[in-house]
């Protein structure tokens, strides 16, 4: 189910550069295991960083992960809007993508 949430660019990366994609995935998993945050909190932080950096393509995938970890609509919204003071209103561009999984049944 999550595969349809992965951007075309990332799918191309995984298909065209499998060794690099595998190394990237291992790094991401190792970093995730090294942090002290619970899965829900870590995913919310990651979503907030993505919004602040205006990396929208991964938002649906990571919001679904956060939702599966127990995050609520309000928590996802708050994670995104935490970046307002530092990143400005561009973080609001992530909101429609982030809230869509909560609006779908």
What would the pLDDT profile of 5-57 be if each residue is shown by its tens digit? 778 888 999 999 999 999 999 998 999 889 999 999 999 999 999 999 999 98
**Residue 24's domain spans which residues?**
2-103
Closest among 60, 56, 46, 49 to 104, alpha carbons compared = 60
For residue 86, the model assigns a pLDDT of 94
Q: Could you give the angle at which helices 73-81 and 39-52 cross, rounded to 10 degrees?
A: 40
CATH of the domain at 7: 1.20.1290.10
Reading the block at residue 59, the tokens are: 């938002």
CA distance 64 to 31: 20
CA distance 85 to 69: 27
What would the pLDDT profile of 46-103 be if each residue is shown by its tens digit? 999 999 999 998 999 999 999 999 999 999 999 999 999 999 999 999 999 999 988 8
Instruction: Give the phi and the psi of residue 54 in degrees, each rounded to 5.
Output: 60, 40
1 — pLDDT class (breaks 50, 70, 90)? very low
Q: Is the pLDDT of residue 105 over 80?
A: no
Total number of domains in the chain? 1
């Amino acid at each position: 189910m999550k595969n349809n949430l992965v951007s075309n660019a990332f799918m191309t990366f995984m298909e065209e550069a499998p060794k690099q994609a595998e190394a990237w995935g291992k790094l991401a998993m190792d970093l995730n295991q090294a942090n002290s945050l619970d899965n829900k909190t870590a995913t919310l932080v990651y979503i907030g960083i993505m919004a602040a950096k205006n990396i929208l393509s991964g938002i649906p995938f990571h919001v679904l992960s956060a939702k599966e970890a127990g995050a609520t609509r309000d928590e996802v919204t708050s994670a995104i809007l935490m970046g307002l003071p530092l990143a400005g209103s561009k973080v609001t561009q992530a909101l429609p993508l982030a809230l869509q999984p909560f609006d779908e049944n």
